[in-house]
Structure 1
Amino acid sequence: MADLVPQLPLALRAPPEQRLSRYVGAPAGLLEALHALAAGDVPGGLFLQGVPATGKTHLLLGTCAEAELAGRHASYLALRGLRGRVRAAVEGLDQSDLLALDDLDAVAGERDDEIALFDLHNRLCDAGRTPLYAAADGPDALGLVLPDLRSRLAQCARWALPVLDDDGRAELLRQRAAARGLEFDEAALDWLLRRASRDLGTLTALFERLDRASLAAQRRLTVPFLRQVLEIDLP
């Protein structure tokens, strides 16, 4: 099961966009809390909840990268696809100073998995190490069958992530374009946001296409260029 655990340092493996400083629309105090968590100053851990495409994975990877840059050992593990195999997947991860577990809802209701997570949580906290969790819902709404695990998760500091509004989506795309040295006309940005899905996963996938096309054609991101590249997908 060793292939389930990231082998490269997360500070190097995580995409540059997935840093805490690049997260858009954070609730007041959240980024400060994650910086403190990365430094090991949040006993008991932290729990992020939010619907898909609210940036949970971004924040988990960003916090792990911050921890590693501070000289701490961090590990990230997505639980989606690991139902029934959690105990083997987390073996050895209790040695991480910071352990980020994503997609907790993917294994909720599987008793053996929940027992493995309960045992892991206790080992981490007993050793003064830090767990960081993310799921679509809070501990009370996940459908957990192990009351002890639900109780442990409920003791974590909890933050709810908002869905980005149009201003937030625009700022996200501006940041990504600027980080890659792209010129994104405001008219083109407005054109894209009025036509693209509000889902951030879809929106960022469209941006990646535009980035590759812009690089290949040596063109700025203007309305005519967006029409040319996305004519099949968007009206």
Structure 2
Amino acid sequence: MRLSPRLNTAAALSALAASLLAIPLIAPGLVPRLGASSAVAASLPDPATGLTLAAGPRATAVLAGGCFWGMEAVFEHVKGVTEVVTGYTGGSPATAAYDRVSGGGTGHAEGIRISYDPARVSYGQLLKVFFSVAHDPTELNRQGPDVGSQYRSAIFPTDPEQRRVAAAYIAQLNRSGALPRPIATTVEEWRGFTPAEAYHQDFVARNPAHPYVVIHDQPKVARLKTQFPELAR
């Protein structure tokens, strides 16, 4: 269940409690899937291509992996990233609004547009963070409590080189067996990016006590800092 930012704190907590009561008890020895586990994520190999740092102007990467609040929070803590914007990508600009996208059927995914300095962080490093700690790339059309194609795992290359690097890394990870299931991430056609409404921008930083943020987003940032200390800030 997605806890809407429009809910006040009391309503959000009530909805959260109801959702937790609906979760079945976990059998001994089983671990709930709340995204790629730390053990699995730590074992992901570096991309065979796409790790070279390059001098040049600011570069852009567009990724989708569930609710864009947590995705934004993770990449805002990556060294070399200069800006992260939440928004909608994959569909028509005419339907790029939260009330439309959240209902599904628009073709859009909740995504982020990352502006970064390619002399400080490479596209391949960004992808490793994406597959390791930002979301669970093996879930199809969902992330945790958020279900639907609007929460799919997807990469939207903005040029042929990004497409080549992304496709090669997905194939490499599937061959490696580092993840417990095949990767569900799609590499999709670039159709532009529309920034989300203002209240979605920097949501985690502005709402650290929001129940959804505490449960689903802050742990991702913590994993980034633990597993990628050389990249985290």
Which protein is bigger by CA-based radius of gyration? Answer: 1
- The one of the two structures with greater contact order (alpha-carbon pairs below 8 A, sep at least 6) is 2
| Structure with greater proportional strand content | 2
| Structure with greater proportional helix content | 1
Considering the TM-score relative to the shorter chain, is it more than 0.5? no
Per the normalisation by structure 1, the TM-score is 0.24
Per the normalisation by structure 2, the TM-score is 0.24
